Amino acid sequence: MAHKAVLVSALSRALSARVVLLDFTVGRKGLLNYLKALGGSNIVKVVPSNGSASDSQAAVRRLKVVCGANTSHIADNAWIRESKGGKGTGGSGTPYTFCEVKVSPSNTVIPNVGTTELAEALNKVLPFTSRDSNRPVLRCVNFTAREGKLTLVSTDGFRLAVTALQYDGEGQALIDSSDLKGIANALRRAKRARISFEPRPNAEAQDLILDTDLIRYRFSSVDGSFPDWEAVMPSEVKTTCHFDTIEAIKAIGGLKALADEKAYAIDMAIDGSKVVLSDPDNRGQSEISADVDGESVTVRLNGGYLVQALKACGGMVDMKLTAPSSPVLFNTNGYRLLTMPMARGEAPKAPEPQPDVVAQAEAVAEAVEMPEPVAAVAHQPEARRPKRKHKARQAAAVA
Note the pLDDT tens digit of each residue in 346-396.
554 444 444 444 444 444 334 333 333 322 222 333 333 444 444 444 444
Is residue 174 included in any domain, yes or no? no
Query: Is residue 305, in this structure, part of any structural domain at all?
Result: yes
Q: Do 276 and 354 belong to one domain?
A: yes
User: C-alpha distances in angstroms, 26 versus 56, 72, 79, 101, 386?
Assistant: 20, 14, 6, 11, 21
Q: Are residues 74 and 210 in the same domain?
A: yes
Dihedral sign of CA atoms 256, 258, 262, 265 in order: negative
- Find the mean pLDDT for residues 180-196: 92
Give the Cα separation of 331 and 347 in Å (integer): 28
Measured CA to CA in angstroms, residue 376 lies from 100, 202, 239, 394, 396 at distances of: 10, 18, 50, 9, 14
**Quick one: pLDDT at residue 248?**
95
Torsional sign, CA 126, 8, 32, 48 = positive
Structural domain count, the chain: 2
Inter-CA distances, 184 with 124, 189, 217, 378, Å: 10, 9, 12, 27
CA-wise closest residue to 133 among 320, 386, 377: 386
pLDDT digits (tens, 9 = 90+) for 244-277: 999 999 999 999 988 878 889 999 999 888 999 9
Instruction: Tell me which residue range forms the domain holding 349.
Output: 231-363
| 199 and 58 assigned to the same domain | yes
Query: According to the model, what pLDDT value does residue 84 have?
Result: 67
What single DSSP character describes residue 391? P
Q: Which of 218, 222, 115 is nearest to 165 (CA)?
A: 115
pLDDT digits (tens, 9 = 90+) for 115-127: 999 999 999 999 9
Answer yes or no: do 382 and 348 share one domain.
no
β strands within 254-334, DSSP E: 265-271, 274-278, 285-289, 291-294, 297-302, 316-321, 328-332
Same domain assignment for residues 201 and 348 = no
Whether residues 26 and 93 fall in one domain: yes
Query: Which of 21-30, 142-151, 196-205 has the highest mean predicted lDDT (pLDDT)?
Result: 142-151
Is the pLDDT score of 170 beyond 50?
Answer: yes
The reply to whether 255 and 395 lie within a common domain is: no
> Percent of the chain at pLDDT above 70?
80
Q: Are residues 252 and 352 in the same domain?
A: yes
Q: Please indicate, yes or no, whether residues 192 and 315 belong to a single structural domain of this protein.
A: no
Q: Does residue 301 share a domain with residue 348?
A: yes
In a domain, 169, yes or no: no
pLDDT tens, position by position, 139-169: 999 999 999 999 999 999 999 999 999 999 9
List alpha helices for the chain, DSSP H. 4-13, 28-37, 55-58, 115-125, 183-189, 245-256, 303-313, 355-367
H helices, E strands: number in the chain: 8, 24
Looking at the domain assignment, is residue 119 inside a domain? no
Task: Report if residue 120 sits inside a domain.
Answer: no
